[in-house]
Amino acid sequence: MSYLLILISAVLINNFVLMQFLGICPFLGVSRRIETALGMGMAVIFVMVLAGGVTYGIQQLLVPGYEYLQTLAFILTIAALVQVVEMVMQKLSPILYQALGIYLPLITTNCAVLGVTLLNIKREYNFVEAVVFSGAAAVGFTLALLLFAGIRERMERTGLPQYVQGPAIGLISAGLLSMAFMAFSAFRTEQMLQDLAALVGLG
Amino acid sequence: MLNVLYACAGMGLLGVLFGVVLAVVSKKFAVETDPKVAAVTDALPGANCGACGAPGCAGYAAAVAGGTMAPDRCIPGGNAVAKTIAGIMGVAVAETEPVRAQVICQGFDPCATDKAAWTGVRTCAAAAAVGGGPRSCRFGCIGFGDCRRACPFNAIAMHGRTPVVTDRCTGCGMCMAACPKGVIVLRPKDRPVHIRCRTGEPAKVSRTQCQKSCIKCKICVKACPQQAIVWMSDPHDALLLWADGKYPSLALERLHDLPVINYAKCTNCGICAQKCPRKVIVDLRAAAASAPALPVAR
């Protein structure tokens, strides 16, 4: 698979949030406003690419017979990595820290980040493919978050009945959004994927 | 068995490794912060209401520690917090009388009526932008609850379309900023007598618009034994009263041709409330004794 196909597949067809249901917690929690959704999305892209690269190295350390420690080791790595990044960022780039800082601790134990690192290994990607897939998955996460935040911002201004306000209508519209994305799973074969790539102007 | 030990040792080693890295990084990349900022932040209520003028409690703490803002600007915290912060900063502050929000309009059903039905977005700001709003009096409360949504302390309850300020009010003034009609203002806390009308219409018009409207008769001014009621006839009056220190918001209220109580002189006798022919001046002690409880609805 070319990098382009990895990208399209991770962003649209196997969207982490809307198709694989990973990272639902920030999807519902940080989607009130488009600005916060964008901040969260940028932080996730940053952390996922880093985590994808670093955990690829950690996997090489796991001796045969001890692969079952993978999940544990990855969680430990991601948590430590996010902490280190937060501290370094605060020192070296206070502006970037102000933009992403409050979201970084939220990502520490995000299942989407863990999910992408585990999928990297399961699909036997090489290093570059793993990094591309991590970034693409995060872009897909950001896309879903932004779409949902846009919908919720509009819904705030409509006079909804009280019994569906807030989380209730949030879950309903998340479900509808997810169903809409399921249409992308019609692109099953590699040929179809290439057609789709041409369609969106990337091929 | 040995496998388990290896696994534990391996993970432990990884943990220790990361721990050491974290410790080194935290030392090497430590950001020096003023300990006063943390101390002031701890002393603040942490509601991030913005009443002080800074963006949130952390912003205010930084400004106080940096010396750019005074230590007594936290309104929800009141005198207690001001004293604590002044203690941290090593400066003195003067005591101020605590304030709370007051709704200066009684034009809810059935006193005033809707002159038109509003079917748009149910916020006061949107309704006020169209022809002065749907109420019969263009100065009065619209009742769509912008104040309730603006309150960071959940202190305002809507009884139907009537906003009621509860005891949770800290006097931060966020509701005042949110109200497009300016019918929520800050007044000294624990004062029972309040003037509740801000109509700018002449008596002939206001009489037809609302049952409890000021008709500019000035009976209250004459009735007050303390001469504590001031008739606002030009903006200068507001500045003079504001300078008396009992009115944190008066200069912003744009009251004109209306009575205002000077609480520095007021003795809470309640005579003005008895004399007012339009029941515009309320005595909360008398109201509490006679009024039935309003049904609570959101």
The stretch B142-158 carries a mean pLDDT of 91
Nearest to A91 among B11, B14, B31 (CB): B31
> b/e per residue, B16-49, with b = 16+ CB within 10 A?
eebeeebeebeeeeeeeeeebbebbbebbbebeb
B154 touches chain A (CB under 8 A): no
Tens of pLDDT, residues B65-77: 888 888 888 888 8
pLDDT of residue A106: 76
Beta bridge partners of B59: none
Rg (CA), chain A: 18
A69 and B7 in contact by Cβ < 8 A?
Answer: yes
Residue-level pLDDT at B245: 59
User: Which pTM does this prediction carry?
Assistant: 0.60
In b/e form, how buried is each residue of B116-153, taking b as 16+ CB within 10 angstroms?
eeeeeeebbebbbeeeebbbbbbbbbbbbbbbbebbbb
Output the tens digit of pLDDT for each of chain A's 203 residues.
578 788 888 888 888 899 888 888 888 888 888 888 888 888 889 889 999 999 998 888 887 778 788 888 898 889 898 888 888 888 877 777 877 767 787 777 788 899 999 999 888 889 999 999 999 999 999 999 999 999 998 888 777 888 888 888 999 999 999 999 988 887 766 677 777 777 776 65
Residues in chain A: 203
Residue B287 has pLDDT above 80, yes or no: no
Model pLDDT, residue B294: 54
Predicted local distance difference test score (pLDDT) of residue A103: 77
C-alpha B1: how far from chain center: 67
- The residues on A that touch B, with CB distances below 8 Å, are 65-66, 69, 72-73, 76-77, 80, 83-84, 87-88, 90-92, 157, 159, 162
d(CA B173, CA B60): 16
CA B147/CA A113 separation, integer angstroms: 41
Cβ-based contacts of B7 with chain A (< 8 Å): 66, 69
Mean pLDDT of chain B: 84
Cβ atoms of A27 and A17 within 8 Å: the answer is yes
What SS3 state is found at A27? helix
Better-scored residue on pLDDT, B219 or B54: B219
**The pLDDT of residue B298:** 41
What confidence score (pLDDT) does residue B297 get? Answer: 45
Contacts of B10 in chain A (CB under 8 A): 66, 69
Q: Are the C-beta atoms of A104 and A85 separated by less than 8 Å? A: yes
Interface test with B, best of A32, A55, A66, A67 (most B CBs within 10 A): A66
Asked if the C-beta of B2 comes within 8 angstroms of chain A's C-beta atoms, the answer is no
d(CA B281, CA A193): 74
ipTM: 0.73
User: Cβ(B263)–Cβ(B186) under 8 Å?
Assistant: no
- Tell me what the mean pLDDT of segment B213-236 comes to: 87
* pLDDT at res. B53: 79
Quick: pLDDT tens for B38-69: 888 888 888 888 778 788 888 888 888 888 88
Lookup: tokens for B74: 């936290």
Greater model confidence, B291 or B155: B155
Residue with the larger pLDDT of the pair B293 and B114: B114
Instruction: Copy the structure tokens of residue B289.
Output: 């004794």
